[in-house]
């Protein structure tokens, strides 16, 4: 048996090995602790790289999320029992001009640099992971795993060789678009409407190249038609690294029942996310809507900003949240999406992608230190260890391995 499978079995069945058995009399807190010690826990989307390089943030120290300190760092990953995360190389997008493509490409590389520097500083605490095997091994060695994903294919420009280039820098997924249409496909949220009616010709080439290399295709953010185009062209299962169920919360960023069923048929996985407006319909007061509109207008809808401008824009956004506090969705609201998806397409196609530091937040999972509240809720709702292991990473890792194997890695 390959080493990786043995590691996996050790982790999955450790409680049996150790003769630990849990019954209804067990303290739920102890059971949550035991689960997090045993299984691999993975969050497939955090935007923490946007904070790297800033003077007011140190990923090696404990920051206070309730005082604007960001939602993830290594000390709080430890507290929350989160083993691994995909750190998103997020690239803001402006119009599709040569100068903007060039800037985005440079910016993507700068963020890769920051992530590799972070991994060097974190030696002994965390390490870059390039495959599922790496993550299981890091877990056994007591280290967190830093996976990298590229959010938005904009920096590829029209150069197909850049798919391999970003893979070689450590990226293991590419989110095809962000909130605006790009050269690859339409976005689900571009106010200007669609320009490709799905994937562009270059987008189709990107899918084939990602299949060839063995890279995960992230369908979060893309339009419904682009989603179905991807499923038609990709020979591999795909992932939605941070999306919810549209039937539970009607938002174009979420997946319809038809999309969820197609995703299951494809063998892929949807990673349920914390972003409040994708979790629960929130009715906002007109003054809040207006204040937000003004900030979006002032800061070019958060597109094409420098790092400094982005920090100022986020601060203005946070000010509104402070001034008009809304009741955030809860872990229970979040798990409603998991329940719904499990009922619709089964336990094998769902996972977790918080979008921490990109807007993801729940009232009772405000930062990564509170991740165990999700496990507690899953237990409370009757999910067993094996199911919880699948949700916390097993399903995503299954797809990850398939994509590697299909590409002959
Ligand atoms: Zn996103």
**Ligand 1 center–CA 173 separation, angstroms:** 13
**Ligand 1 center–CA 349 separation, angstroms:** 19
Q: Which residues contact 269 (CB under 8 A, 6 or more apart)?
A: 237, 239, 240, 263, 348, 349, 350, 351, 395, 396, 398, 399
Give the mean model confidence (pLDDT) for residues 290-299. Answer: 91
Residue 282 confidence (pLDDT)? 80
Is residue 19 scored above 60 in pLDDT? no
Residue 234 confidence (pLDDT)? 98
Mean pLDDT of the chain, nearest integer: 92
Q: Which of the residue ranges 69-83, 175-189, 301-315 would you say has the lowest mean pLDDT?
A: 301-315
Give tens-digit pLDDT for 198-227.
999 999 999 999 999 999 999 999 999 999
Q: Residue 369 — pLDDT band, cuts 50, 70, 90? A: very high
- Distances from the Cα of 180 to the Cα of 177, 191, 230, 281, angstroms: 7, 8, 17, 22
Locate the domains of the chain by residue range. 36-282+329-406, 283-325
Q: Which two tokens stand for residue 377?
A: 């809720």
**Ligand 1 center–CA 152 separation, angstroms:** 9
**Ligand 1 center–CA 7 separation, angstroms:** 32
- Distances from the Cα of 56 to the Cα of 48, 114, 284, angstroms: 13, 15, 31
**Ligand 1 center–CA 13 separation, angstroms:** 34
**Ligand 1 center–CA 178 separation, angstroms:** 6
Residue 1 confidence (pLDDT)? 42
Q: Which of the residue ranges 55-59, 138-142, 247-251, 285-289 would you say has the lowest mean pLDDT?
A: 285-289
**Ligand 1 center–CA 242 separation, angstroms:** 7
Give the mean model confidence (pLDDT) for residues 377-387. Answer: 97
CA 273, 278, 280, 282 dihedral sign is positive
Does the model's pTM come out above 0.75?
yes
Give tens-digit pLDDT for 107-163.
999 999 999 999 999 999 999 999 999 999 999 999 999 999 999 999 999 999 999
**Ligand 1 center–CA 358 separation, angstroms:** 7
**Ligand 1 center–CA 175 separation, angstroms:** 8
Domain 36-282+329-406: homologous superfamily in CATH: Metal-dependent hydrolases (3.20.20.140)
Is residue 20 scored above 50 in pLDDT? no
Is residue 171 scored above 60 in pLDDT? yes
Question: Looking at per-residue confidence, does 42 or 26 come out higher?
Answer: 42
**Ligand 1 center–CA 222 separation, angstroms:** 10
Q: Residue 36 — pLDDT band, cuts 50, 70, 90? A: very high
Q: Residue 324 — pLDDT band, cuts 50, 70, 90? A: confident
Cα–Cα dist 386/376, whole Å: 14
Q: What is the dihedral of CA 148, 151, 156, 162, to 10 degrees?
A: 10
**Ligand 1 center–CA 319 separation, angstroms:** 21
**Ligand 1 center–CA 25 separation, angstroms:** 41
Strand, coil or helix: 356 = strand
**Ligand 1 center–CA 34 separation, angstroms:** 31
Residue 18 confidence (pLDDT)? 41
Cα–Cα dist 214/151, whole Å: 17
């Amino acid at each position: 048996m390959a080493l990786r499978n043995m590691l996996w079995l050790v982790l999955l069945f450790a409680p049996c090995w150790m003769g630990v058995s849990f019954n209804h009399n067990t303290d739920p807190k102890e059971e949550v602790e035991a689960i997090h010690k045993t299984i691999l826990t993975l969050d497939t989307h955090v935007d923490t790289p946007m904070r790297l390089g800033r003077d007011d943030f140190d990923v090696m120290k404990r920051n206070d999320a309730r005082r604007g300190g960001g939602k993830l760092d290594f000390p709080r990953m430890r507290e929350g029992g989160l083993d691994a995360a995909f750190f998103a190389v997020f690239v803001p997008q402006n119009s599709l001009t040569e100068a903007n493509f060039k800037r985005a490409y440079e910016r993507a590389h700068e963020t890769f640099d920051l992530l590799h520097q972070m991994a060097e500083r974190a030696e002994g605490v965390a390490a870059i992971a390039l495959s599922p095997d790496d993550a299981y091994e890091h877990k056994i060695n007591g280290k967190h795993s830093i996976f990298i994903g590229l959010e938005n294919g904009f920096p590829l420009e029209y150069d197909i060789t850049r798919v391999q280039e970003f893979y070689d820098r450590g990226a293991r997924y590419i989110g095809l678009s962000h909130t605006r249409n790009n050269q690859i496909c339409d976005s689900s949220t571009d106010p200007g409407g669609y320009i490709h009616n799905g994937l562009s010709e270059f987008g189709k080439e990107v899918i084939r190249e990602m299949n060839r290399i063995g890279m995960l295709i992230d369908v979060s953010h893309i339009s419904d038609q682009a989603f179905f185009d991807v499923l038609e062209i990709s020979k591999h299962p795909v992932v939605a690294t941070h999306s919810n169920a549209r039937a539970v919360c009607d938002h174009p960023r979420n997946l319809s029942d038809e999309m969820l069923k197609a995703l299951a048929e494809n063998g892929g996985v949807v990673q349920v996310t914390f972003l409040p407006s994708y979790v629960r319909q929130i009715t906002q007061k007109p003054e809040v809507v207006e204040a937000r509109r003004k900030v979006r207008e002032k800061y070019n809808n958060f597109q094409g900003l420098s790092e400094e401008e982005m920090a100022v824009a986020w601060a203005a956004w946070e000010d509104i949240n402070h001034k008009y506090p809304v009741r955030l969705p809860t872990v229970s609201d979040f798990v409603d999406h998991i329940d719904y998806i499990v009922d619709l397409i089964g336990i094998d196609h769902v996972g977790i992608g918080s979008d921490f530091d990109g807007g993801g937040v729940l009232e009772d999972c405000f930062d990564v230190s509170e991740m165990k509240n999700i496990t507690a809720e899953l237990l409370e709702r009757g999910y067993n260890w094996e199911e919880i292991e699948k949700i916390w990473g097993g399903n995503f890792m299954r797809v990850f391995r398939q994509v590697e194997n299909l590409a002959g890695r």
